[in-house]
């Protein structure tokens, strides 16, 4: 156990012992009870461990602002740590006590509500500091008698020290945030190139994970570098063309001239090129190169029933060849 910590029996066991001792006092010599907690050395081996961890920094080498966010009700942004490909439980227990702590104090009560996530805007060239304490939390089963206050369970998290060796750190990076209408989601970066976005209560969607390998003991600050864009392009790229951030996965809503879904997808591979895939349903219709004028003549059976062009609206300009009137009609954006 930690220095200066003395083990004590659980309140439940201690209360039972006092009850039986009192009963024996009434019975006199007819009763012989020995009070014991049956603890022995069974409560040893659950002590907290510590070591020097690693100082880290997330550096934005891309040309656009990106975002970092806390996860799972935490308010601090923490790196994920892996060893030999296995994710480790490294987050500090903000709503729980370690096995050692539970031997000397009662479990804390956790509220059901989550705190608003911490969302950081990281400008191009900016750096955001992170730290890993070097601690790994391991689920253990501790004898009930070891708990200061038995709370109906025997499981607890033991704080252990990571061993020397090779590790991988990663952080989730977001290309955009969902800013509610009427809310100003801008902020002014500090000298290090980052600032907190206030009053946002939802974690952004679709992160990209960036990685950095390091070793313990760590002698230098570990840099987790964002090399390129973490947002998807507006339209599917050509297969094999350059991309900026390995691991970026994108999907688009696209259809052919017959209105059939293509479901294009693209993955930025480790060699910084796009791997693009899509459905290729049969379609014998074609769309004109330029958006036709609404009401002008079209050729049913030849011209497309779903033709999309760039335009001012979210959906762009959408046209369909009306097979009844043989004229081009507009497809309203809301019906897309």
Range among 25-29, 152-156, 183-187 with highest mean pLDDT value:
183-187
Q: What is the pTM of this model?
A: 0.64
Is residue 311 within 8 A of residue 331, CB to CB? The reply is: no
For 267-279, b where at least 16 C-beta lie within 10 A, e where not — what string?
Answer: ebeeeebbebebe
Give domain limits for the chain.
47-227
Tell whether the model's pLDDT for residue 192 goes beyond 50. Answer: yes
pLDDT of 137 above 90: yes
- Integer distance in angstroms from the first to the last C-alpha of the chain? 65
What was the pLDDT predicted at 11? 42
Average pLDDT, the chain: 81
**Sheet strands (E) in 248-306:** 249-251, 265-268, 274-277
336/333 Cα distance (integer angstroms): 5
Block residue for tokens 């459905």:
279
The tens digit of pLDDT for each residue in 27-79 reads 444 443 333 344 447 889 999 999 999 999 999 998 889 999 887 667 788 89
Sheet holding 66-69, edge to edge: 66-69, 119-122, 194-197
Condensed to tens digits (0 to 9), the pLDDT of residues 104-121 reads: 988 777 665 566 788 999
Considering only CA atoms, give the Rg of the chain: 31
Checking DSSP bridges between strand 54-60 and strand 222-226, what pairing results, if any? Answer: parallel
């Amino acid at each position: 156990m930690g220095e200066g910590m003395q083990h004590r029996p659980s309140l439940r066991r201690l209360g039972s012992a006092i009850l039986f001792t009192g009963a024996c006092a009434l019975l006199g010599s007819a009763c012989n009870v020995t009070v014991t907690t049956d603890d022995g050395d069974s409560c040893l081996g659950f002590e907290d461990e510590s070591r020097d961890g690693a100082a880290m920094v997330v550096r934005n080498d891309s040309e656009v602002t990106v975002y970092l966010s806390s996860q799972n009700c935490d308010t601090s942004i923490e790196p994920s740590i892996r060893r030999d490909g296995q994710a480790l439980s490294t987050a500090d227990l903000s709503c729980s006590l370690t096995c050692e702590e539970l031997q000397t104090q009662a479990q804390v009560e956790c509220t059901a509500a989550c705190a608003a996530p911490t969302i950081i805007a990281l400008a191009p060239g900016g750096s955001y500091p992170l730290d890993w304490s070097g601690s790994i939390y391991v689920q253990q089963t501790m004898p009930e008698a070891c708990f200061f206050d038995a709370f109906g369970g025997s499981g607890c998290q033991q704080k252990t020290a990571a061993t020397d060796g090779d590790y991988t750190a990663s952080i989730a990076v977001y290309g955009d945030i969902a800013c509610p209408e009427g809310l100003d989601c801008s902020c002014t970066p500090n000298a290090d190139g980052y600032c907190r976005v206030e009053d946002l209560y939802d974690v952004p969607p679709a992160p990209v994970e960036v990685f950095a390998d390091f070793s313990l003991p760590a002698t230098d600050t570990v840099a987790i570098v964002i090399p390129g864009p973490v947002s998807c392009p507006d339209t599917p790229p050509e297969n094999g063309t350059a991309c900026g951030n390995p691991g970026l996965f994108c999907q688009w809503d696209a259809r052919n001239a017959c209105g059939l879904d293509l479901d294009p997808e693209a993955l930025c591979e480790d060699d910084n090129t796009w791997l693009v895939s899509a459905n290729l349903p049969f379609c014998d219709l074609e769309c004109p190169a330029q958006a036709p004028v609404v009401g002008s003549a079209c050729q049913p059976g030849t011209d497309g029933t779903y033709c999309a062009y760039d335009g001012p609206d979210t959906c762009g300009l959408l046209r369909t060849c009306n097979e009844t009137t043989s004229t081009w009609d507009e497809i309203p954006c809301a019906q897309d």
